[in-house]
Structure 1
């Protein structure tokens, strides 16, 4: 606000003479003020129902005090500068008042500083108010961005599930039918050259079926229907066979309790992303996957003995894979921590999900409903 405007000042003061003196100093300082004097707590509480630009308060009043007035102002939630004015005030009292939110304190023997102190307090309070408004707007913007990211994550999973189902029902079914027809031709042909071409075609179709199964597993892991533990063990074995990197999966519980909807998929995707990054960048020879449940928090830890990450790697502005992990974890109320011991000391990724935490606005139930409808692709192509 502009100090050139007329100011409304609430003055807590039991001496009318001291009130007139303070008003004179304010006007002498060039301020155009409209004041009201109150003496009691009840009068002060009633006056707070009106808008004020500042509050001046004596320290000692009959049955009332400036610190009590400051406490009442804080409890009201109003953002109004509060200046303590007293005939005598100790340093400890002044420090306590400033610690509790007072804008300034003055002695009545030195009111020449009252006008500048009031101007400064009003300007400082306005700056705090603007900063608070900006912080709230920023927090709301971040919340909307987080909700959008979570929605996108869920939409991607739903789309993956739909594509996987189409691959299973349409592509897989068609390839299986072709394989049956080719097998029938191979059994009934008497021409060697035709038989050889049919066998080549059967190999091509079998490869296409295996590729379809692999693509579908990546899109929507049907193995999750067997539980998170079985899915992680299967992933570890498959990773070790594919990359040659030793991969051990350790579980603290032989059988986990029924996990909230969405949690198994988030844990699976987190491990999948971690293993993908390890195979591409870590140059590791050993990977460990640990799944544990303690004090209501499910923890998934993926660690390797690779080259590690530098602080620059961790702070890369375009680390969208890491950002995606954070957003994915947020859909189930969890979080991700990534740490590295530096060059040659490996990297550790930890996903933590409180199982009692409220679910994020992600609609993961829809994704899990799709999982129940997804068939096992291992049934393809078995004539």
Structure 2
């Protein structure tokens, strides 16, 4: 007490000398510091330190002894003691106490900040999950409206133009009707393509079939040699996973066509050890650190955020011989069903049977 006051510390002190009293004191109040003699009647400073740890209390603990060996001092520090002092050198008590208290306050502040950061990250993940669900719901609704309103209107106009062409009284009128029919056909195909991009009906056939169709179409559209490989003919996946995997491959191939300057690309789908993985590799120019560090580089960032919604992650490796993107998704966990809410009301009503001639599916049931 005297040495603390000499050091400028005014403290409320409670003295205990048994384990029971020590535990009661810990449970009754919040303490800034514990000073413990090494030898106590029927008790010891190291036992008090162990009890403090067992109770989960984070309080600075200074061990004081008349004579303490180096081994014991090391053991005390390893067990969580803030410091140890010899009774012959209690002039250090006040500075050691202040240092221990300040260090503990810093540690608690860091723990609080880490907790807040963890909670913030969790909230961001939940928000990203909610946004992805909302986006897919909106996509499905827009696709339905395009099919029901635009598609229906274009079909009606096409039928009327066909009637006009059949009953045209002059060759010029018949030719104009035929040209109008061709324009309507192009608009109808565009509507089908937009609907597919909004909500790919091909996923009804399974992820393997969807990726095979995507890569074939990508090769035809871009002229880039594209290879699709898989270890499975069929995969049983949670409702949210196929769409996330499909969008990942779609975005990765889009990046290849826009930026990679590649002549070859491969897409590999595998399931092993309870993890689904999709690897998209190209032989393009590769990515450098500046590309990945761009403030508005949302492509890669979007892939990672989408992967996190199903508990997955994205790995990137890039060099002069090309770039590889890998999506990995554990096939267990509550995250994998996050898109279940998209399917019941929005997607169960039939949308019709006419479709893109290049699309092997129809718009009957979007799931």
* TM-score normalized with structure 2 length: 0.92
Work out the CA distance in 2 between the residues paired with 1:371 and 1:338. Answer: 34
Match of 2:287 in 1: 309
Structure 1 gap ranges (5+):
1-22
Match of 1:278 in 2: 256
SS class of match (1:233): helix
Match of 1:332 in 2: 310
Match of 1:19 in 2: none
Q: Deviations over 1:178-233 (max 9, x none)?
A: 11111122222242111110110111011001111111111110111111111101
Q: Deviations over 1:70-125 (max 9, x none)?
A: 22212322221111111222223222322332211111121110011001111111
8 A Cα contact 1:213 1:377, kept in partner: no
Q: CA 1:317–1:71 in structure 2 vs 1: closer, same or farther (change >3 Å)?
A: farther
The Cα shift of 1:363 comes to 4.3
The Cα shift of 1:25 comes to 1.4
The Cα shift of 1:264 comes to 0.5
How many residue pairs get matched?
356
The Cα shift of 1:289 comes to 0.7
Match of 1:48 in 2: 26
Q: Deviations over 1:228-257 (max 9, x none)?
A: 111101100110000000111111111212
Pick one of 47, 51, 67 that aligns with 1:88: 67
Pick one of 104, 112, 129 that aligns with 1:125: 104
Q: CA 1:63–1:293 in structure 2 vs 1: closer, same or farther (change >3 Å)?
A: farther
8 A Cα contact 1:225 1:371, kept in partner: no
Q: Deviations over 1:13-51 (max 9, x none)?
A: xxxxxxxxxx22112222112222222222211110122
Pick one of 241, 246, 253 that aligns with 2:220: 241
SS class of match (1:186): helix
Structure 2 gap ranges (5+):
358-367
Pick one of 88, 94, 97 that aligns with 2:76: 97
Match of 1:269 in 2: 247
8 A Cα contact 1:176 1:380, kept in partner: no
Q: Is 116-125 or 42-51 further displaced after alignment?
A: 42-51
Q: Deviations over 1:103-151 (max 9, x none)?
A: 1111112111001100111111111111211221222222222222221
Q: Is 186-195 or 240-249 further displaced after alignment?
A: 186-195
Q: CA 1:323–1:112 in structure 2 vs 1: closer, same or farther (change >3 Å)?
A: same
SS class of match (1:298): strand
8 A Cα contact 1:222 1:374, kept in partner: no
1:299 and 2:271 aligned: no
The Cα shift of 1:172 comes to 0.7
The Cα shift of 1:62 comes to 4.1
Pick one of 340, 343, 346 that aligns with 1:368: 343
8 A Cα contact 1:261 1:368, kept in partner: no
SS class of match (1:33): coil
Q: CA 1:373–1:271 in structure 2 vs 1: closer, same or farther (change >3 Å)?
A: farther
Work out the CA distance in 1 between the residues paired with 2:224 and 2:269. Answer: 19
8 A Cα contact 1:56 1:85, kept in partner: yes
8 A Cα contact 1:82 1:104, kept in partner: yes
Q: CA 1:253–1:180 in structure 2 vs 1: closer, same or farther (change >3 Å)?
A: same
The Cα shift of 1:358 comes to 1.9
* TM-score normalized with structure 1 length: 0.88
